[in-house]
């Protein structure tokens, strides 16, 4: 098993390697956050569109319910 060095026992090369690893992890996390942010923006746009469609359908349904004849002409009278 690898023995962990204390911060005082690290060489400048070890410190530079650790900094480089941390920077790489940070860059990866930053890209992931940006990607997730793009996904959220896309989902919000989709939600907005779906909410607009629901409002439109609710208005159509209300119009149909208020006009039971459905806007059709009455049937012709029988002779």
Domains in the chain: how many in total? 1
Residue 73 lies in a domain: no
pLDDT recorded at residue 72: 66
- Residues 35/39/44/46 CA torsion (nearest 10 deg): 150
15-67 per-position pLDDT tens digit: 999 999 999 999 999 999 999 999 999 999 999 999 999 999 999 999 988 88
Structural domain containing residue 48: 12-66
Q: pTM surpassing 0.85?
A: no
Indicate if the pLDDT at residue 68 is higher than 70: no
Residue 19 is assigned to a structural domain of this protein? yes
The tally of CA atoms less than 13 A away on the side-chain side of residue 47 is: 6
Residue 72 lies in a domain: no
Q: In this structure, is residue 62 part of a structural domain?
A: yes
Please give the residue that has the higher pLDDT: either 15 or 2.
15
């Amino acid at each position: 098993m690898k023995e962990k060095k204390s911060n005082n026992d690290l060489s400048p090369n070890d410190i530079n390697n650790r900094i480089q690893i941390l920077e790489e992890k940070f860059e990866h996390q930053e890209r992931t956050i940006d990607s997730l942010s793009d996904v959220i923006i896309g989902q919000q746009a989709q939600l907005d569109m779906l909410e607009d469609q629901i409002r439109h359908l609710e208005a159509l349904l209300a119009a149909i319910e208020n006009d039971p004849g459905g806007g059709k002409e009455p049937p012709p009278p029988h002779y």
